[in-house]
Structure 1
Amino acid sequence: MPRARLSRRSLALAAAAATLGATFYGVGAATADNSVPRSDKEIPNLTDVVNEIKAYYGDTVDASGEHFASADSSYAHQVAGIEAKAKADLAHALRGHGGHGDDGKPAIVLDVDDTSVLTYNYELEVGFAYSPASNQAYLDSKDMPAVFGMETLANWAADQGVTVFWITGRPEAQRADTVRNLTAVGYKSAPDTDHLYLKNKANPPAYLTCGSTCTTIQYKSGTRAHIESLGYDIIGNFGDQYSDLSGGYADKSFKLPNPMYFLP
Structure 2
Amino acid sequence: MPRTRLSGRTRVLAVTVAAAALGATCYGAGVAGAHDSVPRSDKQIPNLTDVVSEIKAYYGDTVDASGEHFPSATGNYAKQVAGIEAKATAYLEREVRHEGHGHGGHAAKPAIVLDVDDTSVNTYNYELEVGFNYTPATNSAYIANKNMQAVFGMQTLTNWAADHGITVFWITGRPEAQRADTVRNLAAVGYKPAADTDHLYLKNAANPPAYLPCGATCTTIEYKSGTRKHIESLGYNIVANFGDQYSDLTGGYADKTFKLPNPMYFLP
In the superposition, the TM-score normalised over structure 1's length comes to 0.94
2:100 maps to: 98
- Higher relative contact order at CA 8 Å, sep ≥6: structure 1 or structure 2? 1
Select which of 75, 84, 91 maps to 2:86. 84
2:176 maps to: 172
Q: Distance in 1 between matches of 2:259 and 2:17?
A: 15
Q: Distance in 2 between matches of 1:57 and 1:237?
A: 23
Whether the aligned pair in 2 keeps the contact of 1:3 and 1:170 (CA below 8 Å) is: no
Q: Distance in 1 between matches of 2:150 and 2:2?
A: 19
1:71 maps to: 73
1:14 aligns with 2:38: no
Q: Distance in 2 between matches of 1:234 and 1:31?
A: 29
Q: Distance in 2 between matches of 1:191 and 1:95?
A: 26
Q: Distance in 1 between matches of 2:225 and 2:64?
A: 39
SS of match in other structure, 1:9? helix
Q: Which amino acid aligns with 1:142?
A: K
The number of residue pairs the alignment matches comes to 261
1:246 aligns with 2:247: no
- CA-CA distance at 1:103 after TM superposition: 3.3
Q: Distance in 1 between matches of 2:29 and 2:174?
A: 24
Q: Distance in 1 between matches of 2:135 and 2:197?
A: 25
SS of match in other structure, 2:265? coil
Q: How large is the Cα RMSD of the aligned pairs?
A: 1.9
1:65-103, Cα deviation, whole Å (9 max, x unpaired): 110110000000000000000111111222234167323
SS of match in other structure, 1:260? coil
Whether the aligned pair in 1 keeps the contact of 2:241 and 2:257 (CA below 8 Å) is: yes
Residues 67 and 37 of structure 1: is their aligned pair in 2 closer, same or farther, counting only changes over 3 Å?
A: same
Whether the aligned pair in 1 keeps the contact of 2:61 and 2:71 (CA below 8 Å) is: yes
1:218 aligns with 2:222: yes
1:139 maps to: 143
Q: Distance in 2 between matches of 1:251 and 1:22?
A: 27
In the superposition, the TM-score normalised over structure 2's length comes to 0.92
Displaced runs of 4+ in structure 1, greater than 6 A? 20-23
- CA-CA distance at 1:205 after TM superposition: 0.1
SS of match in other structure, 1:189? coil
Instruction: Judge which range, 54-63 or 207-216, deviates more.
Output: 54-63
Q: Which amino acid aligns with 2:42?
A: D
Identity, % of aligned positions = 75
- By percentage of residues, which structure has more helix? 2
Q: Which amino acid aligns with 1:177?
A: D
Q: Distance in 2 between matches of 1:250 and 1:29?
A: 20
1:227 maps to: 231
Unaligned ranges ≥5, structure 1: none
Q: Distance in 1 between matches of 2:249 and 2:20?
A: 15
Q: Which amino acid aligns with 1:150?
A: M
Unaligned ranges ≥5, structure 2: none
Q: Distance in 1 between matches of 2:113 and 2:128?
A: 27
Q: Distance in 2 between matches of 1:79 and 1:178?
A: 22
Q: Which amino acid aligns with 2:4?
A: A
Q: Distance in 2 between matches of 1:252 and 1:207?
A: 23
SS of match in other structure, 2:9? coil
Q: Distance in 2 between matches of 1:106 and 1:22?
A: 35
Q: Distance in 1 between matches of 2:185 and 2:249?
A: 23
